[in-house]
Amino acid sequence: MQAIVRRTFAAKEKLNVVLESFQRDTTIEAVSRKYGIVRSVINHWREEFISRAEQIFTDKRSRKERAVSQGFEPGQSPEELKRIIGEYATQVEILKKVQGLLKSR
């Protein structure tokens, strides 16, 4: 019995296959034969490509828009949480200094 060998494809290779499969003058079947990839894999890559294509054009300048496009709830992105932690760390340092001043009196 022969073991099944799974091939792995780099992102660039997948992109080339998907873009070629979208061309008018070719079919998914032709792309499948050309690259030796089954149609279901190509269809899966195409669906993934289409579902993520909108992310390319989201507004990258707005932190909130970027966080939402990455699937985070408002106020829950890593950048937002880091900002909140930074604010709390500053407040803790201020309170420590105030406590030190009050003890010295």
Three-class SS state of 26:
coil
Domain ranges of the chain: 1-57, 61-105
pLDDT tens-place string over residues 16-49:
999 999 999 999 999 999 999 999 999 999 999 9
Where does 1-57 sit in CATH, by number?
1.10.10
Please report, as a single letter, which amino acid is at residue 34: K
Phi, psi angle pair for 33, to nearest 5°: -70, -40
**pTM score of the predicted model:** 0.55
Can you read off the two tokens belonging to residue 56? 């390319």
Distance CA 20, CA 4 (A): 27
Mean pLDDT of the chain: 86
* C-alpha–C-alpha distance, residues 17 and 64, integer Å: 33
Sequence-ordered list of residues with C-beta below 8 angstroms from that of 39, at least 6 positions apart, any chain: 28, 29, 32
Confidence of residue 1 (pLDDT cuts 50, 70, 90): low
